[in-house]
Amino acid sequence: MSTQETSAYQQRIAHQLAYWEQFRQAQPHEAAGEQVELFPLSGKGTVVSFTTVTAPAEPFESYAPYALAFVQLDEGPMVTAQITDLDGPLDIGMRVEMVIRKLRTDGRRGIIIYGPKFRPELKPASDQ
C-alpha cells in the first residue's frame, strides 16, 4: 500500500465546501443526496510561509514560543500547522511530513489531546 492509501488525513470535497477530517472523527454537514468524495493525502508538503508565535492564547502559553506555518501539501491543499522537532532554523521551501503529537491537556482531569503537526521530512539512512 502506498502512503496515500494509508494516510490518517483525508480531504472531503463536497461541491464548493472543502474541509479536513482528522482521525475520521469530524463529521461534515451534508445535504441530502450530496455526493462526497474522499481523497487520501500523503501528509507530506512544503513550507510556504511561517512565523514564531511568542504570545499565544491562554491555553497554549506553556508551549510558546513555537513555529506555525502554511504547508502546501503535495496533493494541492494548503494547511496551517505547528512545526515540531526542529533541530535548526525553519526555512521557506523546507520539506515536511505530518506526525501526531500532543496538542494540549484539557480539563481538571488532564485529558491529553493529540493531533496533527508537521516536522522536517526524515531522510532514509542511506540518503544521509
pLDDT in tens, 41-87: 888 999 999 999 999 888 788 888 999 999 999 988 888 999 999 99
Q: Which CATH number fits domain 44-121: 1.20.1630, 3.40.50, 2.40.50, 1.10.10?
A: 2.40.50
pLDDT in tens, 105-125: 877 888 888 889 999 998 877
Q: Is the pLDDT of residue 27 over 60?
A: no
Cα Dmax for the chain: 52
CA distance 76 to 65: 29
* Range scoring the smallest mean pLDDT among 24-28, 33-37, 97-101: 24-28
Cell of 36: 462526497
CA distance 60 to 47: 22
Q: Is the pLDDT of residue 96 over 90?
A: yes
| 113 close to 106: Cβ distance less than 8 angstroms | yes
CATH 2.40.50 range(s) for the chain read 44-121
| 51 close to 68: Cβ distance less than 8 angstroms | yes
CA distance 15 to 28: 12
CA distance 16 to 38: 14
Q: Beta 95-106 vs 44-53: how paired, if at all?
A: antiparallel
